[in-house]
Structure 1
Amino acid sequence: MNKLSICVVLFVLSYTGFSQSYDFQVIKEIEALPVVSQDNTGSCWSFSTISFLESEMIRITGTKTDLSEMYIVRSTYLDKAENYVMRQGKAQFGEGGLSHDVINSARKYGIVPSPSYMGKSTPEMKYNHSKMISELDNIVKKAVTETPKKYPNWKADYVAVLDTYMGKFDENSKIYVPNVKIDEQTTNEKSLTPKQFLATTKLNLDDYITITSFTSEPVYSNFILNIPDNFANGSMYNLPLDEFIENIDHALDKGFTLVLDTDVSEITFSSKNGIAVIPENDNDAATILKEIKTEKKITPEYRQAEFENYNTQDDHLMHIVGKVVDQKGNHYYKVKNSYGIQSGRNGFVYVSVPYVRLKAISVMLHKNGLMKKTKDALKL
């Protein structure tokens, strides 16, 4: 080998040793409706899970229907208030929620298409719930302090605030839906309640489950995770960490999307760059958002410790719709965010497998997206 050839080989070897900018290739993508923004609200739980149900409708019936996130938000606020007051203020009250809150609300109040109820005065208006939440909070706290007996109109006052900021609409309101099927029969009925509309979607709300992984609970048990936003005491199934990740991959491979509840407080979660990673070396935190670096190996024990010391919390919910791979073969989940298309990678975040192993609180999915061995172990 001549000197020139040796120099070329050494140059190539030295170059490949350096970090590289991310170059992603999509390896799996499941259809979802376009990215929308939750604006100035804490309603990611509704935006992510409604997006998930929209993808479920596409998967089940091929129908693309833009569902109203704010109808679910409005309905859930009713249950949050009742829960807070009847527990005498010893419960969570705020904008946060979890994916099962959407399922619970849909089961109780139904769902509606977004054009039928937008939850704001005009389509151009941005969502901003800061004043509304402050007023709602004052009402429920007053109801607890004075007791419902001394403040008998608290529910009416509460609903009046919702009406003012979000518009009047409830489970008895009618929506226009032409030529729909109810109980396998076509009807020309043009006016349906939200529950009647839900029946046309073919969504079976009992099919949706939540899985997670914590060493503090028995494997394959169904338990209530003690996190602040779990005001409804929703339960989830506990899996070994490797099996938790395997089921996410299996679901995606089979065409099922998932709702991701995760911590986004890490400096290596960047909605701006559309990247979420866990560097092996803390000194790489400043550069890993733009350059590929080695990521940390996440054990079940480390995951549990980070949750128990509050380094992992349920900050944000998003919608997993696929997988991508970088030029070094590292896999990431393609996650639909609710910060608008100007955020991240056209509204999406590519979340690494180590990040999900460490920071994912849970995922919701259709039970048929589970591996057979997992379904058998959970007796589903």
Structure 2
Amino acid sequence: MKRIYLLVAAFLSLGTVASAQTIEGFDFEDKEVLFATPVKNQGGTSCCWGFAGLSMVESEIYRMIKREVDLSEMWIARHAYYEKAIRYVRMHGKTSYRAGGIVNDVMTIIKKYGVVPEEAYKGLRYGTPKHQHGELIEALRAYCNAVVANKNGTLSTAWIRGLNGILDAYLGRVPKSFEYEGQTYTPQSFTEMLGFDPTAYVGVTSFECYPTNEWAQFEVPDNWMWNLMFNVELDDLRKMVSHSIEKGYTVAMACDITNLNFKKRPQVALLPARNNKEIRTEDINRWPSITREIRKNMRTFAEPIPEREVTAQRRNSSFLSYFTTDDHAMHIIGFAYDKNGTRYLKIKDSSHKDGKKGIGTLRYMSEPYMLYMSTSFLFHKDAVPAEILEKMGLTAKNDKVKKSSKKKK
């Protein structure tokens, strides 16, 4: 009987979405997959950052208190849209106003506004069964532009009420308190009850255009909050992802998904070597050269293929040339291995399934793809290796991050 209990506990610890998937030609086996809540559908929004960030928060809550919760992505989106409008007007419309963001924004919103369960704020007030924010974003942008035009000669005291009126109409009024499992909470007291600390997370990137092992202003359009990222060496980034999963912490990631290597085959993302010289060291023994059959597999991703050796220079060049863009956020929940024993990341994705936008799924991503096409990551600071944590200016669990913006090289 004790053995049965242990087996059940082990199964439950893998989480709701951790079961292996049958991918013909790869035969993936999940070996190091952490708890994650069910995949949710971001629908017609560009709020992947909110879905990925809150998915990480849900995994973190389970890690800490072994409690599964379903948090409201629209609570995060609503407050982000509000904060973005404030900045847009203060900047006289000289910044971008769109739905995008980065996963760090989730922590900033929770720190200021707390968080609520899905049932307390669903954010569906516009006649569709799934989230559709195209009209909402256009309405918010047009309204903010009207305010910026300043036809009265001075900004009125009514414009923020008008802003909230639009958000209330589309997403619903913000509750000051709500009932959850028989108890009354405010957003702040609910966050405290869950024991979640949004200040315990650090943003990380790795590009040669920024000083190494220093905090830098991360320049992508969706970083509207002007978050700083700690810039590490590429090999350290690889180590950090492995170290985090091995210690039981999931990771949020932003990367490029607009290229064909993400779209060729549903649920598998690879980075093919383009010629024999590019084949990474780990693959040379199995594939010493690229044959005609391998070329065929590279067109369809029918089976594992030799992948590209990723260097810091190649990664940086891809970023500066706009080949790698910050266009999607996902949640790394563990590792899996293909039939050859090659390790892949297991990814929780709110946006794509079978090539169709708007339906969440799980997918497998090769490490070369992650290293080449990613832009930024969010880690719990306790999951960061000690030597890197020290470089960040963090030496103890409750330390505050010491940041200073650095200019690019």
Query: Which bracket does the TM-score occupy, shorter chain normalised?
Result: 0.7 to 0.9
CA distance in 1, matches of 2:264, 2:173: 34
Cα contact 2:344–2:367 (8 A) shared by 1: yes
**Is it true that 1:107 corresponds to 2:121 in the alignment?**
no
Cα contact 1:267–1:285 (8 A) shared by 2: no
- Alignment-derived partner of residue 259 in structure 2: 266
**What's the TM-score once normalised by structure 1's chain length?**
0.87
CA distance in 1, matches of 2:156, 2:389: 49
- Alignment-derived partner of residue 380 in structure 2: 366
Shift of 1:217: 1.7
- Alignment-derived partner of residue 69 in structure 2: 65
Cα contact 2:351–2:360 (8 A) shared by 1: no
CA distance in 1, matches of 2:249, 2:128: 32
**Is it true that 1:351 corresponds to 2:365 in the alignment?**
yes
- Alignment-derived partner of residue 293 in structure 1: 305
**Given residue 303 of structure 2, which amino acid in structure 1 is its aligned partner?**
E
Shift of 1:84: 0.4
After superposition, what is the alpha-carbon deviation per residue over 1:184-212, rounded to whole angstroms, capped at 9, x for unaligned?
xxxxxx32211111111111111111111
Deviates more, 1:267-276 or 1:343-352: 343-352
**Given residue 116 of structure 1, which amino acid in structure 2 is its aligned partner?**
A
Taking only aligned residues, the RMSD between alpha carbons, in angstroms, comes to 2.2
After superposition, what is the alpha-carbon deviation per residue over 1:335-373, rounded to whole angstroms, capped at 9, x for unaligned?
000037777998111111001111111110100111122
- Alignment-derived partner of residue 377 in structure 1: 391
After superposition, what is the alpha-carbon deviation per residue over 1:9-28, rounded to whole angstroms, capped at 9, x for unaligned?
xxxxxxxxxxx922211121
Which one has the largest radius of gyration? 1
User: Aligned to 1:322, what secondary structure does the other structure show?
Assistant: strand
Of 166, 174, 177, the residue aligned with 2:177 is: 174
- Alignment-derived partner of residue 12 in structure 1: none
Shift of 1:256: 0.3
Of 93, 99, 115, the residue aligned with 2:97 is: 93
- Alignment-derived partner of residue 44 in structure 2: 40
**Is it true that 1:302 corresponds to 2:305 in the alignment?**
no
Cα contact 2:40–2:360 (8 A) shared by 1: no
C-alpha distance 342-215 of structure 1, shift in aligned 2 (>3 A): closer
User: Aligned to 1:60, what secondary structure does the other structure show?
Assistant: helix
Deviates more, 1:269-278 or 1:90-99: 269-278
Cα contact 2:297–2:303 (8 A) shared by 1: no
Deviates more, 1:369-378 or 1:50-59: 369-378
CA distance in 2, matches of 1:346, 1:136: 26
Cα contact 1:279–1:288 (8 A) shared by 2: no
Q: How does 1:68-83 map to 2 (within 5 A)?
A: 68-83=72-87
User: Aligned to 2:260, what secondary structure does the other structure show?
Assistant: coil
**Is it true that 1:25 corresponds to 2:29 in the alignment?**
yes
CA distance in 1, matches of 2:46, 2:199: 26
Shift of 1:33: 0.5
After superposition, what is the alpha-carbon deviation per residue over 1:109-162, rounded to whole angstroms, capped at 9, x for unaligned?
110011111111499811111111111110011111126825542222221111
CA distance in 2, matches of 1:361, 1:340: 19
**Is it true that 1:164 corresponds to 2:169 in the alignment?**
yes
CA distance in 2, matches of 1:116, 1:162: 16
- Alignment-derived partner of residue 399 in structure 2: none
- Alignment-derived partner of residue 324 in structure 1: 336
C-alpha distance 82-363 of structure 1, shift in aligned 2 (>3 A): same
User: Aligned to 1:287, what secondary structure does the other structure show?
Assistant: helix
- Alignment-derived partner of residue 210 in structure 1: 203
User: Aligned to 2:160, what secondary structure does the other structure show?
Assistant: helix
C-alpha distance 147-196 of structure 1, shift in aligned 2 (>3 A): farther
User: Aligned to 2:332, what secondary structure does the other structure show?
Assistant: strand
Cα contact 1:110–1:198 (8 A) shared by 2: yes
C-alpha distance 80-135 of structure 1, shift in aligned 2 (>3 A): same
C-alpha distance 346-99 of structure 1, shift in aligned 2 (>3 A): closer
C-alpha distance 276-342 of structure 1, shift in aligned 2 (>3 A): closer
Alignment coverage as a number of residue pairs: 349
